[in-house]
Amino acid sequence: MSTNYTRCSMIYLHLTAAADLLEGVPDAIFDKKEKTIGYVDPASGVPSFTTRYGYYTTFTYMYYADQRKLEESDLTDHKIGLDMRCGTLSYAEIPTRYKYKIGMSGTLNCLTSHQNDVLKRYGFNIRTELPSTYKKRDLVRKPIEVLDQEKVKFLDKICEAAREKSEEGMAVLVFLQDEKRLQELKQYIKDQGKTITPLELSDSLSKPEREQNIRWSTQNQKITFVTRAYGRGTDFVCHDARAKQFGGVHLIIAFYPNDDSENRQLEGRTCRQDDPGSVQKLVWIGDLKHLGSDSPGFKPDADQDWDDYLKQKRGEYLKSRFESMLKKKEFFENKHKQTVETCQMVADFKSTLFGNQSTMLRIAHLFADASDPPKIDADVTGVEQAVTCVEMCFVMDCTGSMSASIKACQEKVITIARNIQVQCSQNMRIRMAFVAYRDYTGGTDLKYDAPGAPEICEFTEDIEHIQSFVRKQGATGGGDGPEDICGGLREALKLDWQGESRHLFLIADAPCHGSQYHDTNDNYPKGDPTNLVPEFQFEELLGSRQVKCQFLRLNASTDKMLDVFNRHCEAKLGQTVSVT
């Protein structure tokens, strides 16, 4: 390796860490005619010249170049290079570089004081409100009902409320907190032999099915079960004169909204333009643990109703989350500033940079320090004392391309599990789950590569069990570049999330299917073959599930995908998937 490379301590340290991931990579094979390096799939025994193992493949090409079997132009053709993080840029700092900033929102007049403080920090000082051109009717609201009985009583209450309004002639939209609750309600109806036959609106349907059900949902006496993600922006237009005659569209919101903004969006699905409409909220107390419902004395005072009491509790919870967010922002703001200043140093010294070793080392160390993210362990364990249960779900790519790093990633998962167990108090429950996903064979029959569909270890407090499950996973399958990330997230969303502190770690060295997420060969360039949308999945995790999501980045091939995810989640929730 040249002297210029070895001089730079950042590169040396980076390559030393990368070398630890090389164990377990199959022996390379060299095609002299095509001047391409490949590997034999350990599961099938079939050679593949499209499989890559990160730095291992890079150094193998460099080895053959040293042996004069490849020219420098061949390395260029194969896009051989070293991928390094050189700093950290924060999305939150980007608006500060612009003199003029313009925003648009349908919920501007119901922001919290903390959210308004954020707008002031960014210089949003002028507001313009556009009034409706319609003579809107007043929304008919029923008082909120909080059910402190077992869950089946809550599910039964939802069914009876929906049937009552349907029999009155209205169209009924039942908003549920997530896909899991929707499936629970459907199963309850089936088990109880109820006569309700609802439509459905969730990410599990194809786009044509969703569009069709949106059109049908506002018809007279129709009942539709809807996941909360479709409570924002979905246009439920009622064209049915009979439904309007009997009161229009009735909403049953079967969860407590995260804030006034979400509540406004949900209620905006009815009483549209000059149509009539009504709404009621049914809330199960078991869904309010993040507000302290499992603590003694969780109920309103004599001079309060449930609505005022829950708004108070939600305000306290949002204040705590906002303070935590500010701490993270301060950390990334400092890293962002350091990165920009270091880039300016490179620009200032560009003519003499490589002739001055001390300057090179200083810049290298500054870039390395600016790239250092918050520690995963500290981020997870830094929870409030009120938390009684920490949950972590690891969703990991276990296809053949992970052979070079799967052992290191597995040990990292196990290390995190052990550290959390040691650091948390004896009174705190630690629940962990693991999802190993792979990919489809590429055909229209949607068969999975061996060993098959995603393998799941449900949430457990048995750390030894999770360690055993993780270690037995092998890196096999995966023909094209992208993998079935959507399938892994689908299984994570099905898990029984209960804890107050929830965390998901996605570990992948390849993007999901869909050409909008990458620039590589893809058997499914139009996106996930089962019509799942990964940014919607992360929106549900970050939003209604209140799961902190973290991506363990292994190479640059996932950067475009992450940018799509974070642009969507930032716009919808003001949150992002953090990257390590």
Start-to-end C-alpha separation, the chain: 28
Least confident among 25-39, 228-242, 439-453 = 439-453
Reported as a single tens digit per residue, the pLDDT across 400-418 is 777 666 777 777 777 776 6
pLDDT higher than 50, residue 214: yes
Q: Do 460 and 431 touch, CB atoms closer than 8 A?
A: yes
pLDDT higher than 50, residue 384: no
Least confident among 135-139, 434-438, 543-547 = 135-139
Total Cβ atoms within 10 A of residue 100: 5
**Block residue for tokens 């004069």:** 68
Reported as a single tens digit per residue, the pLDDT across 278-287 is 999 999 999 9
* Residues paired with residue 460 on neighbouring β-strands, in sequence order: 432
Q: What is the DSSP string of 552-565?
A: EE-SGGGHHHHHHH
Q: Which domains does the chain have, with CATH numbers?
A: 23-82 (no CATH), 83-131+300-372 (no CATH), 140-295 (3.40.50.300), 374-579 (3.40.50.410)
Residue 55, SS3 per DSSP:
helix
Q: Do 444 and 473 touch, CB atoms closer than 8 A?
A: no
Give the tokens for residue 91. 């999305």
Least confident among 42-51, 83-92, 133-142, 339-348 = 42-51
Q: For strand 429-437 and strand 455-460, is the pairing parallel, antiparallel, or unpaired? A: antiparallel
Give me the chain's average pLDDT, please.
Answer: 81
**Block residue for tokens 């199959």:** 26
Those residues whose C-beta lies under 8 Å from the C-beta of residue 245, and which sit 6 or more positions away, are 169
Q: What percent of the chain has pLDDT over 70?
A: 82
Residue 325, SS3 per DSSP:
helix
